């Protein structure tokens, strides 16, 4: 089965072809970073309009470069949520209309399930076996999930306020690092001095697997204000603050992952979502899991952020199991709990 995947949940237009026998055939991605950079963040209306402009030529480019035609498609998967409603509508209308014209099935896919399954795209490494614990960590979500099979998810813990990626972006903004803030803060932290500042590890001094990063963000803001008032905020100090903030977030995530593995008795951890590309987080989790006799799995760097390949793969798994949109198709869901998904038949 050859499936076209379409991802338009936020500010990335991603398309991909996934074949259930050959694996990932091709993918293409258009980023709107330059469009939104002048505003310091994503402008939903502009994002929707840009998806509309880029989707059709991007699909044509994908098919031409891979040597395929529309008539060879067996199904279409598109992101149905969570995400920006206008952006979701663009991808969904395109995917549903194309499927209707070709008389093939279409299926709306949960954006975070795409991230969760992204490590299975890497054909150069052995994929994780079920069951495992997944840390989904992105700009909009920080969740620990027990994954028993595709569609069989148990929520173990989640952020009660800012997600980790959101905290990165907001902290980068108060440090005047520009947009996109998270990756810029991580790069600045590489120049920081270990131990000059130590920030709190929120909610690690109590039981449970929930997260909270708003207090850490406020602590960082207070620290920066004090440094500015005393004229101590030079470039090196800024890097030291960035390192302390990143280290606090990473340490918190690692502590909670370790706790989740012990609670479930599992030894396999999957980390996915945009923040999973953070090298400090990868190094700390790798070291921790080795000490526990466990294994940690990541998507390839290209598939950590939003992309069409993860939607094509998740869609292929579900379409192959016989799932598809009914008529009329279900409403798009800007908010959509992952645990509400159905398992594969």
* Residues in binding site for substrate: 136-140, 169, 182, 278
Instruction: Give the C-alpha separation, 278 to 167, whole Å.
Output: 14
Tell me the HSE value of 174 on the side-chain side, using a 13 A CA sphere: 19
Determine which helix (DSSP H) or strand (DSSP E) holds 313, and give its type and residue range. Answer: helix 308-320
Contacting residues for 62 by C-beta, under 8 A, at least 6 apart = 4, 15, 16, 17, 26, 27, 28
Q: Is 165 helix (H, G, I), strand (E, B) or coil?
A: helix
Which residues are known binding-site members for Fe cation?
A: 111, 115, 306
Annotated binding site: 111, 115, 136-140, 169, 182, 278, 306
User: How buried is residue 34: exposed, middle or buried, by Cβ count under 10 Å (0-12/13-18/19+)?
Assistant: exposed
Pairing of strands 12-19, 268-272: unpaired
Q: What is the per-residue DSSP string for 167-227?
A: HHHHHHHHTT--SSHHHHHHHHHTTSPTTS-----TT-SSSSS-B--HHHHHHHHHHHHHH
């Amino acid at each position: 089965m050859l499936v076209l995947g379409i991802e338009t949940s936020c500010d990335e237009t991603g398309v991909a072809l996934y074949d259930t026998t050959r694996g990932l055939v091709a993918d293409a991605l258009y980023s709107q970073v330059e469009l939104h950079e002048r505003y310091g963040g994503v402008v939903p209306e502009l994002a929707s309009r840009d998806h509309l402009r880029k989707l059709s030529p991007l699909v044509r480019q994908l098919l031409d470069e891979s040597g395929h035609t529309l008539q060879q498609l067996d199904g279409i998967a598109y992101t149905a949520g969570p995400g920006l409603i206008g952006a979701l509508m663009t991808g969904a209308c395109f995917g549903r209309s194309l499927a209707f014209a070709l008389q093939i099935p279409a299926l709306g896919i949960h954006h975070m399930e795409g991230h969760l399954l992204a490590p299975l795209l890497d054909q150069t490494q052995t994929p994780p076996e079920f069951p495992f614990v997944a840390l989904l960590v992105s700009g909009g979500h920080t969740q620990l999930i027990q994954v028993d099979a595709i569609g069989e998810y148990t929520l173990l813990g989640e952020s009660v306020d800012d997600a980790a990626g959101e905290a990165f972006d907001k902290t980068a903004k108060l440090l005047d690092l520009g947009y996109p803030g998270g990756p810029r803060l991580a790069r600045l932290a590489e120049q920081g001095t270990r131990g000059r500042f130590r920030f709190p590890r929120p909610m690690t001094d109590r039981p449970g697997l929930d997260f909270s990063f708003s207090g850490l963000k406020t602590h960082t803001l207070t620290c920066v204000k004090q440094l500015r008032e005393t004229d101590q905020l030079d470039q090196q100090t800024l890097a030291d603050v960035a390192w302390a903030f990143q280290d606090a977030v990473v340490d918190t995530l690692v502590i909670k992952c370790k706790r989740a593995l012990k609670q479930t008795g599992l030894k396999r951890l999957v980390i996915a979502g945009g923040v999973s590309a953070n090298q400090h987080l990868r190094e700390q989790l790798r070291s921790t899991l080795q000490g526990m006799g466990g294994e940690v799995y990541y998507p390839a760097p290209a598939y950590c952020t939003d992309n069409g390949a993860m939607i094509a793969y998740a869609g292929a798994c579900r379409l192959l199991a016989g799932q598809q949109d009914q008529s009329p198709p279900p409403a798009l869901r800007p908010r959509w709990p992952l645990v509400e998904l159905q398992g594969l038949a």
